[in-house]
Amino acid sequence: MSDKKASNQMWGGRFASGPAAIMEAINASISFDRKLYAQDIRGSIAHSEMLAQTGIISAADQEKISHGLNTILAEIEAGTFEFSTRLEDIHMNVEARLADLIGPAAGRLHTARSRNDQVAVDLRLWVKDECFRVAEALKGLITAFLARAEEHAATVMPGFTHMQAAQPVTFGHHCMAYVEMFARDLSRVRDAIERMDESPLGAAALAGTSFPIDRHQTATALGFREPMRNSLDSVSDRDFALEFLGLAAICATHLSRLAEEIIIWSTPQFGFVRLSDSFSTGSSIMPQKKNPDAAELVRGKTGRVTGHLVGLLTVMKGMPLTYGKDMQEDKESVFDAAETLDLMLAAMTGMMRDMTVNTAAMKKAAGAGYSTATDLADWLVRTLGLPFREAHHITGRAVALAEDKKVGLDRLSLQDLQSIHLGISADVFSVLAVQNSVKSRTSFGGTAPSEVRKQIRYWKKRLDKA
């Protein structure tokens, strides 16, 4: 049959002629919602099996429907299926092809179902599947960080606040900060899966159906915990899509922060790390350049993911219950954000595994900027019993003296320090060395190598159970 005739038959007797070209262009979603083909066919098979089980359609018709749908699945995956914009979306394309394959029995498939609950279950299944993919990618990234942290548990580097050297830390400790970040992302993914693990199928257009369907059967068949409990909410809810975009935006933000650090660290001015050739590019005019393009693209793509979140929030903010065609705008945002996040996670995992760490440059920078000044203040409080504010003032004078002499704090003589406060003894030099400063930070979650190794062991065990 022609596309125009197929379109009119799908709409039924209410519409005597096909839509105008502009309406067809704005209304059709098949260019992007074809991505839902596997979920759509899966949902339709589960629905048909339930219809047969409850006696709503015959077993013979269900067998034809199931065979036809599996044939369509094979055609799509083989690239031989012809999608039509006149048939609007993936649901109508599949249904029209099913009618071609099995005849009148195809018309029974849509009994007790609407495109409203059909698209809701399709997209929910797709997002749920994507969440499992993201969870695995995050576990891979966390594993890469744990390996780096273990390798560099005692590698000293400067810790920063305001992008100024603050206190020495270890690179392993810095890596473990990202383990914490991405582990929170992983927990958000798990939480999102738990909340979206309800099936909207069977809500029909908005009010449920008078047919004796079994929504628990279809929910179980599709891998959901249970059916959603309100038919209005079932077809109008897009929280699961918003939550996915939200967790994607937060994760992308974490990836962008890491990308920014890699970009800074790979400059000649820092020289902390060197990216492999696999994640770098050269310059078309400057032969000496090695640009961290992969990291820059990760940083740039974060705006794209965040934009999709804002876009869908804006679509949904004015939606009365239940369904409106506006909600067709949910899919491109979700699909593109998912594809972008998958790529960002893969790129960052590769960068972390491949990059070379310049431990000498990190160690040299760790002692710059009087980074052990806080250790001196703490020593004055702990050893001499001074109030911290007084110790802070004395330390400030010591820093000023070191600046004047153009030396580090650990290079001041005991006489220099005693000229500021007579109670200072030679024992103070045990805390002024960068390595000793790092080793002393043994509080829970601190940067001491011993503590870093404890946290690595903890996360390895936890990740094995995730």
Nearest-5° angle of CA 184, CA 167, CA 253?
A: 30
Q: HSE, CB side, 13 Å, CA atoms: give it for residue 279.
A: 27
Q: What are the residues facing 158 on neighbouring strands? A: 168
Give yes or no for a cis peptide into 170 (omega within 30° of 0). Answer: no
The token pair that represents 427 in the structure block: 């024992």
Which H or E element spans position 170? strand 164-170
Tell me the backbone φ, ψ of residue 343, rounded to 5 degrees.
Answer: -70, -40
Any bridge partners for residue 159, and if so which?
167
Q: Give me the catalytic one of 283, 413, 430, 450.
A: 283
Cα–chain center distance at 167 = 31
What Rg do the C-alpha atoms of the chain give, in angstroms?
A: 31
Q: Give me the residues paired with residue 458 across strands.
A: none
Distance of alpha carbon 42 from alpha carbon 221, whole angstroms: 9
**CA-CA-CA-CA torsion for 326, 330, 331, 336, nearest 10 degrees?**
130
DSSP string of 50-112, one letter each residue: HHHHTTSS-HHHHHHHHHHHHHHHHHHHHT-----GGG-SHHHHHHHHHHHHHGGGGGGTTTT
Q: Residue 337 has which token pair?
A: 């954000």
Q: What is the DSSP string of 18-51?
A: PPPHHHHHHH--HHHHGGGHHHHHHHHHHHHHHH
Q: Based on the residue annotation, tell me whether 162 is a catalytic residue of this protein.
A: yes
HSE-up (13 A, CA, CB side) for residue 143: 12
Amino acid, res. 379: W
**Active site (annotated) includes residue 413:** no
3-state percent helix, strand, coil for the chain, nearest multiple of 5: 70, 5, 25
Task: Provide the token pair at 257.
Answer: 């922060």
* Active-site residue set: 162, 283
